[in-house]
Chains A and B, each alone.
Chain A
């Protein structure tokens, strides 16, 4: 089975080469804002790599490029999708969506809520999108929400009115529920209390044991120490700014 092949420890899951990003701000007279230049790194199956560096250094921008949410200005992002290494930078929108469905999970910093959809269905949706029947998907969503201590009385409500930490747990549950071989994490623990932070640390460790390649941003020292196999300081990929 392809999943087993791709998750053998040491297998490259993601390889970024000479990745760069600059924003051209047309409303500011075409101002060019270079953010990332020449980012090259590899992430292997079963490994958790943390992107480090100060605020504004370009950590989230790198993660968003890896998800296809930001368009790279240059370079290549190879991602193991099934048997093949596919370049996400050059991939068609349809291929990017297929990669997200099968291969690439993402926990964004903030949950984007959809009106009228219950929290449990928000969490179950990635499974339903992969063809799992609704009842099974909801059952697994329930177990994930339980693990993250989200009170059961909230499950049937749309998350729009939830607190920051509650929304974040819905978001984490949605990202972790699939068995995607690559997972991107943008400060998933930022608004969680200590007990729930420890749950997330456990969940990350479990994904590692399953051979999932994880790339994350964690401001919290304790979480970073607990999960990071390697830290990549993105200042190394910063543009040469005039002093």
Chain B
């Protein structure tokens, strides 16, 4: 019998972010455990990106705390760390997959360099090993080895997104943040990307927080989900329970508005 690991990897308590008078997100609390995929869903403007940015130290919260369990087992408050410590964490332990690959890639260096750069940032110096690892990761995201010297500018949207994923996973992060990872892609390209993400997350035992407005993406990728409206969490729970037996009025509306997930 496997025991449940009782210490969360990430713990968010009473988190709020205001933009002047306007609410970004309000009083949000949740936890993420190792190997767990959490989906954050909700309509446009409900505060998903604000929340994701606040918990990944990209945006300072107005109130509340976010703590993260470091590799040494100690939980630390992210906003009490020094800027240098936070940057190291982002480089080594975390990944961030942007909706628009151009925000997460360097468009004017080669695909291989995009992946290799992250390795160099964590101290790898051996050119041959960097190139081998980059080649390996490109193949894991289904990019042919002979494209390693091409720039992402020459890639399709789906390929760019897969490259961004390789760039993020090459350093063996424990937690990956994703903001609409399949947004803006054709449906068939989305399916392939989702399948790839599902496999990688399972194989690597990654924890992930995925923002999406697509309930089918949440169904396929996540174990648990959080539903947001007007900056607040209106429902949370096991993904299939939330989708098949939604309790909150807003979740019922959301689920009934789509054809089938």
Contact = CB atoms under 8 A, between A and B. Distances in A.
B135 to A, nearest CB: 23
A14 B191 CA distance: 38
Interface in B188-210: 191-192, 194-195, 198
A174 to B, nearest CB: 15
A26 B238 contact: no
A96 B252 contact: no
Give the contact-size bracket for chain A.
Answer: 20 to 34
Contacts of B247: 24, 71
B191 A102 contact: no
B241 A115 contact: no
Interface in B202-231: 220, 223-224
Contact of B191 (A69, A81, A94, A116): A116
A26 B249 contact: yes
Contacts, number: 60
A116 B33 CA distance: 28
Contacts of B253: 26-27
B256 interface: yes
A94 B244 contact: no
A70 interface: yes
Contact of B195 (A69, A83, A116): A116
Interface centre among B1, B2, B4, B33 (most CB of A within 10 A): B1
Contacts of B238: 68, 93, 96-97
B245 interface: yes
Contacts of B36: 94
Q: In this complex, which of B220, B240, B256 has the most chain A Cβ atoms within 10 angstroms of its Cβ? A: B240
Nearest to A128: B202
Contacts of A102: 1-2
Contact of B245 (A71, A97, A116): A71
Interface string A89-122: 0000111111001100000000000111100000
Given A93-B224, A97-B223, A98-B4, A71 B195 contact: no
A194 interface: no
Contacts of B198: 114
A70 B256 contact: no
B237 interface: yes
Contact of A94 (B33, B194, B195): B33
A163 interface: no
Residue of A24, A68, A97 with most partner-chain B CB within 10 A: A97
A64 B244 contact: yes
A96 B36 CA distance: 13
A114 B244 contact: no
Most chain B CB neighbours (cut-off 10 Å) among A68, A81, A115: A115
A68 B237 CA distance: 11
A68 B241 contact: yes
A93 B223 contact: yes
Contacts of B245: 23, 64, 69-71
A82 interface: yes
Contacts of B256: 27
A25 B247 CA distance: 9
Given A69-B244, A71-B241, A2 B1 contact: yes
Nearest to B6: A94
A117 B4 contact: no
Interface string B1-28: 1101000000000000000000000000
B2 A115 contact: no
B240 A69 contact: yes
Interface string A15-31: 00000000111110000
Closest 8 pairs (CB-CB, A-B): A26-B249, A82-B1, A93-B238, A115-B191, A116-B195, A70-B245, A26-B252, A93-B224
21 contacts: A24-B247, A26-B248, A26-B253, A27-B252, A68-B238, A68-B241, A69-B240, A69-B245, A70-B244, A71-B237, A81-B1, A83-B1, A93-B224, A94-B4, A94-B33, A94-B36, A101-B2, A102-B1, A114-B220, A115-B192, A117-B195
Interface of B: 1-2, 4, 33, 36, 191-192, 194-195, 198, 220, 223-224, 237-238, 240-241, 244-245, 247-249, 252-253, 256
